[in-house]
């Protein structure tokens, strides 16, 4: 098992590295902005990222801020070219981004495929469902980052669970879902025209 620390705070990274408990770091623009502001906001951004890379012995994920596939690829190439000398840079690409108000369902996957074909390691982020994870991996992502908190909220809402209650054993879906669902079922999910189908198919299948 590998543990990745989700932060851009160099103090937190330094502490975790010295304790020997992390294998890498994942960041995003918001985390970097918060960390820089914590130090007065006058720090050079590139120098700060360099510091994170120097502190971390393993992979460090740097996320793009663009939302179209063309812009994501362009930005990813620049980031990778600028920091690749450290040998552990991974580019975070959102699988399904809607920051511009448009639900770009496949832009992230296109970007992942292009970058992977160029040998640029990718961490697929904004992963909200099993099918998105499958598609990201198929496109060539090295890592997949599910949004566990939002998925947790979705499941709680779906089964009518109060937010303050802990999960019971009966609430959990089988963690070996991908091993139990036959390929025909997965094909059904990926090819369905029903807008509600992906989540509903997985939740309605007898995989408890």
Per-residue pLDDT of the chain (208 residues; tens, 9 = 90+): 889 999 999 999 999 999 999 999 999 999 998 998 888 877 788 999 999 999 999 999 999 999 899 999 999 999 999 999 999 999 999 997 554 555 667 899 999 999 999 999 999 998 888 888 999 999 999 999 987 766 666 667 766 666 655 555 444 444 444 444 443 333 333 333 444 444 443 333 333 3
The predicted pLDDT at position 177 comes to 45
Q: Active-site residues: which are they?
A: 92
Compute the distance between CA of residue 169 and CA of residue 101 in angstroms, rounded to an integer: 38
Domain 4-147 indexed as CATH 3.20.20.70 = yes
Residues β-bridged to residue 206: none
**Structure-block tokens of residue 87:** 């040998």
Q: Could you state, in order of their start, the residue ranges of all structural domains in the chain? A: 4-147
The closest of 198, 196, 179, 177 to 187, measured between CA atoms, is 198
With a threshold of 0.85, does the pTM exceed it? Answer: no
Instruction: Convert the chain into a string of H (helix), E (strand) and C (coil).
Output: CCCEEECCCHHHHHHHHHHCCCCEEECCHHHHHHHHHHCCCCCCHHHHHHHHHHHCCCCEEEECCCCCHHHHHHHHHHHHHHHHHHCCEEEEEECCECCCCCCECCHHHHHHHHHHHCCCCEEEEEECCHHHHHHHHHHCCCEEEECHHHHHHHHHHHCCCCCCCCCCHHHCCCCCHHHHCCHHHHHHHHHCCCCCHHHHHHHHCCCC
What tokens does 93 get? 């690409």
């Amino acid at each position: 098992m590998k543990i990745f620390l989700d932060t851009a705070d160099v103090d937190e990274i330094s502490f975790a590295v010295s304790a020997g408990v992390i294998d890498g770091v994942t960041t995003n623009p918001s985390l970097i902005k918060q960390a820089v502001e914590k130090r007065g906001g006058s720090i050079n951004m590139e120098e700060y990222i360099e510091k994170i890379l120097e502190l971390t012995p393993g992979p460090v994920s740097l996320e793009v801020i663009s939302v179209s596939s063309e812009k994501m690829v362009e930005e990813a190439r620049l980031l990778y070219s600028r920091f690749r000398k450290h040998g552990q840079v991974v580019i975070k690409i959102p699988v399904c981004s809607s920051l511009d108000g448009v639900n770009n369902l496949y832009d992230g996957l296109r970007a992942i495929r292009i970058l992977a074909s160029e040998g640029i390691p990718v961490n697929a982020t904004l992963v909200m469902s099993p099918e998105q994870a499958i598609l990201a991996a198929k496109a060539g992502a090295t890592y997949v980052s599910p949004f566990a908190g939002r998925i947790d909220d979705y499941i709680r809402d779906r089964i009518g669970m109060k937010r303050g209650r802990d999960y019971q054993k009966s609430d959990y879906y089988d963690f070996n879902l991908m091993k139990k669902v036959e390929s025909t079922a997965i094909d059904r999910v990926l090819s369905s025209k029903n807008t509600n189908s992906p989540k509903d198919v997985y939740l309605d299948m007898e995989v408890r």
